[in-house]
Structure 1
Amino acid sequence: MAFYTVQARTNYYVDIGEGRPVLLLHGISNSGRAWAPQVPDLKAAGYRAIVPDHAGHGASGAVTAPFGVQELANDVEALIAHLGLDEFDVVGLSLGGMVALELALRHPERIGRLIVANSFERTATPQFKALAEGWAKIFEQPHGPVLRLEQNWPSLVSPAFQETAEGLRTWQVWHGIAASADGPSLAHVARGITDFDRANDLGKLAMPTLFIAGDGDGMSPPDLSRAMAERAGDGICHVIAGAAHISNVDSADEFSRIMLQFLGRASSPAVSM
């Protein structure tokens, strides 16, 4: 079944493959379809890919009040319970990376490996709050999600990827998803995520953690991922050359390669990959 219920809201997910479960968590204003490049790779490698749409995103139900990282993590916990998962790995990008960090700190005994890509340890700053408020105001405009995608596409994926056939296909798919997105819900999420702060808790991460960055990511620059890896208990960092903010899409082959290498490791030394 592709749906589960949380506090009278209906959330959507897909569950593909067999083997060790891997949760894939997407970024703000996107959907689980952003993980399309990695799902076949995980399945072929013998993993079970579980890909939810966050509340207010994709095919999941709308939200009617600010909805932050804590609430998004609560939803994923409900999905974990719905599926009866005991142990699993988590991969999150951008907002999804923040949710992944939250889950890892809540459930150190259940998450074997953690991958945090193009993400943040803290949003509880005046600068991020102003940035998120700007997103929210765009989302609230008529056809706001489409407007934001059109404005931000050049910074989301690399210029080289934008010109490829796969880049054009991705643009068309994401544009259609944005056209059917619920702008007020996305505004509630944008405003809700501005109180996240796990900067002082990274050393408590109990599992091997891989931080992925793109050297062309202006939103979450590589130095941020390097610093998080240094403070994590067992953290390493990999910077993808030529990648922008959605590195799993514009550099899909490299992302999948390092993801599968890390998930399959027997141990992970605290050095850069």
Structure 2
Amino acid sequence: MTTTQRDETHAPGRYADVNGVRLYHETHGSGRPMILLHGGLTSGEMFAPILPVLTAKHQVVVVDLQGHGRTADVDRPLDMALMADDVAALIDHLGLDRPDVVGFSLGGGVALHVGFRHPEKIGRLVAASAHIRRDAVYPDMLAQQGQVNAAAAEYLKDTPMYELYQRVAPRPEDFPRLLDKIGEAMRKDFDLADQVRALRVPTLVVAADADMAPPSHFVEVFELLDGGRRDGGWTGEGRPAGGHALAILPGLTHYDIDQSPLFAAVTLDFLDRGR
């Protein structure tokens, strides 16, 4: 089979060689740095509707994770811990001073792993729509995820995800391979409760009120961070000692929260408060 590599010279961003991955990233705006991580089967382009709000006071580095968008896949699993190491290496490559890390869905999981594995490299963390146990996801959604593999590529050709991949991916023919890898990753059982409990980076847990997992799951995550266990007090003395917070956003789903002004607003409020 002939494999072609799309010309990278016309991409609006840059590439960084980290951990054997040519990691695509774009930098927008100026101010305190923020790393922005997209969801599965998409790219950093998904944040276009809220990017102007985020860049008003922040330098935002939008990353395309392994195998997504303009970052070609490599010969390793699609693993959130490995992608977190890529983000940490990108922080070093760019010489950023403890940037905040904001991620949605897959990117939210990667953001959490950056907090687990590289807390000294980042400031604050926002994890949106990122469940910490596989069984927290609704059973019908788990069933759908179990059907994601290369064979599904033919049925996805009319979707925005396929259109995006064909338009920007360095190797457009790799789409079935991406489906195989992300399907395999979603079928693996996991429980991050112990790592969450040990987080020492101030973290905002965000979810839609009609997300892929119930609101109670994200409350559970907040409780692991010592949240929701007592009255907050008149001066906030009862809030979690680590500076953690929770936001359940009304009227949203897993499929539109990333573009919502509400998501941008709570993210900026958390990142900027007290600074």
**CA 1:191/1:238 → structure 2, altered by over 3 Å: closer, same or farther?**
same
CA–CA distance in structure 2, aligned partners of residues 131 and 66 of structure 1: 21
CA contact (8 A) 2:136 2:217 kept: no
From 91, 98, 111, the equivalent of 1:87 is 98
Gaps of 5+ in 1: 150-170, 268-273
Structure 2 gap segments, 5+ residues each = 1-12, 227-241
* Contact persistence 2:210–2:252 (CA under 8 A): yes
TM-score normalized by the length of structure 2: 0.77
Query: Which of residues 126, 131, 140 in structure 2 aligns to 1:115?
Result: 126
Taking the aligned partners of 1:6 and 1:101, their CA distance within structure 2 comes to 19
After superposition, the Cα gap between the structure-2 partners of 1:40 and 1:187, relative to the gap in structure 1 and judged at 3 Å, is same
User: In structure 2, how many angstroms separate the alpha carbons of the residues matched to 1:183 and 1:67?
Assistant: 14
Q: Where does residue 225 of structure 1 map in the other structure?
A: 218
2:269 is equivalent to residue 261 of structure 1: yes
Deviation at 1:247, TM superposition (A): 4.2
AA aligned opposite 2:222: A
- Does 2:199 align with 1:201? no
Per the alignment, residue 111 of structure 2 pairs with 100
Deviations 1:31-71 (A, max 9, x none): 10111123211221x21101111111111112344321122
Q: Secondary structure at the match of 1:211?
A: strand
Give % identity. 34
In terms of Rg, which structure is larger? Answer: 2
Residue 6 of structure 1, aligned match among 9, 18, 41 = 18
The number of aligned residues is 238
Q: Find the residue that maps to 1:242 and give its secondary structure.
A: strand
Which of 73, 82, 85 is residue 62 of structure 1 equivalent to?
Answer: 73
Q: Which amino acid aligns with 1:183?
A: P
Partner residue in 2 for 1:28: 40
Aligned to 1:51: 62
Is the Cα–Cα contact under 8 Å of residues 70 and 102 in structure 1 kept in the other structure?
yes
Counterpart secondary structure, 2:210: coil
Partner of 2:10 in structure 1? none
Deviations for 1:185-213, whole angstroms, at most 9, x for unmatched residues? 23213313535432112121112211111
TM-score by length of 1: 0.77
Are 1:64 and 1:188, in contact at CA under 8 Å, matched by a contact in 2?
Answer: no
Q: Supply the RMSD in Å over aligned alpha carbons.
A: 2.6
Contact 1:70 1:99 in 2 (8 A): yes
After the TM superposition, list the runs of 4 or more consecutive aligned residues in structure 1 that deviate by more than 4 angstroms: 124-131, 178-181
